[in-house]
Amino acid sequence: MVRSVLKKTYQLLVAWWLDEYLVKRRNERFSGDVREGVEFLFTKFSGRIVPNEREPPPLFDFATVTVEADDLRFSFTKDRGSVHVAVASENLPGDWHDLSALLNVLGKSEVEYSRLPTIARLLEANLSAIKEALSTGHIDQTKEALSEVYDSRSRAARRMEAQINRKIYGQ
């Protein structure tokens, strides 16, 4: 009961302004990291930070920054220190694809990353291939290949979940 009262009090008195402030502050701090980490997007490809489609929840150090550069949109998301990147074409701005899966489709080995220097290196080396894969002429093939990658990842996650459940519950 005390927890419920405290939660309601927080929501009425503090959450409506503090949560928004914290999200904005974390996004601003992270945008500086992104500008520095993938500087080539801004210098070579006229990149610019644009408003996010939706703001991240006010949890932990969660932050999101969206960058438009050379007909592509990049959504950089940070959560507990790990960075994730999704890519969309300017032609289909709401059709986001995981950078790791996209690189896999482009013939790179399964790449997992969580730090901006690694991401910057991968992006810079593969930007033209990414742009071509998301172009109007290739997007259908790319989506089909991505679907296979996502399905494979989903099956692997279910297998891991089953193994964990067997170990925990003896099933």
User: Is the overall model pTM greater than 0.85, yes or no?
Assistant: no
Q: What is the pLDDT of residue 50?
A: 93
Q: Is residue 147 part of a domain?
A: no
Q: What is the pLDDT of residue 41?
A: 95
- pLDDT digit string (tens) for 141-157? 888 888 888 777 778 88
Q: Is residue 114 part of a domain?
A: yes
Specify the residue for token string 């309601």: 8
Q: Is residue 109 part of a domain?
A: yes
Q: What is the mean pLDDT of residues 1-24?
A: 71
Give the CA-trace dihedral at 115, 118, 119, 125, to 10 degrees. Answer: 180
Q: Is residue 94 part of a domain?
A: yes
The residue ranking higher by pLDDT, 56 or 30, is 30
Split into its structural domains, the chain has a count of 1
Cβ-contact 119, 38 below 8 angstroms: yes
- pLDDT digit string (tens) for 69-100? 988 999 999 888 889 999 999 888 888 999 98
Q: Is residue 169 part of a domain?
A: no
The residues that bridge with 147 in the sheet, in sequence order, are none
- State percent of the chain over pLDDT 70: 88
Q: Is residue 171 part of a domain?
A: no
Q: Is residue 151 part of a domain?
A: no
Q: Could you tell me the residue range of the domain that residue 92 belongs to?
A: 2-138
Q: Is residue 112 part of a domain?
A: yes
Q: What is the mean pLDDT of residues 127-142?
A: 90
Q: What is the pLDDT of residue 20?
A: 72
Can you state the angle between helices 16-37 and 116-133, rounded to 10 degrees? 80
Sheet holding 97-98, edge to edge: 48-50, 63-69, 72-79, 82-89, 97-98
